[in-house]
Structure 1
């Protein structure tokens, strides 16, 4: 591509009684410390089935990115989880931050069963591991707001009139913090990573995305 690549990096607000959300902490710090090539814009997204996708798409319209990397928290994870597929089902163990609790509902009525991530997942996996951050490919993003946002955004971008690359990455908790995971399961002393390591891992993923855009 010509010009300087633009990446939109999103993370979620706190939910489930937690004071912070590592996905937003990582997204904001990567954007604040990014020195190129390209540019990274971070946006905080509400943990609601209705407004999560809308907020990402509003940010796409505002920043006109070449790629969208959505981050969310997985409370039981020990590593970065690079999500392969968004599935067309919303099934919440706990209400979202607006009180909605869908059960066995489609994210988009009449939509396809799933959408693949278009991020360079294998290269991102290798890049995270190369800087010492544990990472894994994951088969799906669950059925809570993370997956619903991933699916709805992929559905909206499927026309091809937007960012060239888009996908979702789950981050683990910050070491020592009490969290509620994306399926609503409380986890005390859950496995996780230091915040600096989360930032380093996410930055490695973004770097691979930027490299792919520059090809």
Structure 2
């Protein structure tokens, strides 16, 4: 049975919820496929997140799919690259590779979502904050430990409820649509 680690982040800053965690909660309420999905919520703290991720990856997974919210995003973003850089410009891993590219066919993944009526795009990299760190460190730790796990980072738009509570005019996407997209992607990559 294919084993997949699905991670999301806790709330942070002005957002009392995180669309990534809301989507995972929704997914686990209805998903009944044949995959062994293990879900985790990570803190918005680089040191704690990286230690939890490293420990979790040791358990052995075929895939590690990390989710994060992207305020202002109009579509689901499939991140192609994790960079060895922190927000302050220093490296995540001293002497580590400059970047890791996802080995999954992201154009095909985006096409599958588009065919299902879910807007998405392949994005060049996950920024320089914690989402980027999760993508980079996931691949770095697997490489370092000789694990075959393939990694992917997916940025999700805010939910309509988040936008309404915030009183902003940011783009949003429903939680059921996001969780459906995640299910489609895990089923596709597990084939």
5 Å-filtered alignment, 1:94-105, equals 103-105=88-90
DSSP-derived class of the 1:9 partner: strand
Conserved 8 A contact 2:84-2:92: yes
Distance 1:105 1:9 in 2: 27
Unmatched tracts of structure 2, length 5 or more: none
Unmatched tracts of structure 1, length 5 or more: 92-102, 180-185
- How many residues are matched? 190
Conserved 8 A contact 2:104-2:150: yes
Matching residue within 45, 64, 68 for 2:42:
45
Distance 2:30 2:148 in 1: 23
* Structure 1 stretch displaced more, 141-150 or 30-39: 30-39
Matching residue within 112, 115, 127 for 1:130:
115
Greater share of helix:
2
| 1:208 and 2:188 correspond | yes
RMSD: 1.9
DSSP-derived class of the 2:176 partner: helix
Distance 2:89 2:168 in 1: 28
TM score, norm. by length of structure 1: 0.82
Distance 2:26 2:50 in 1: 22
TM score, norm. by length of structure 2: 0.91
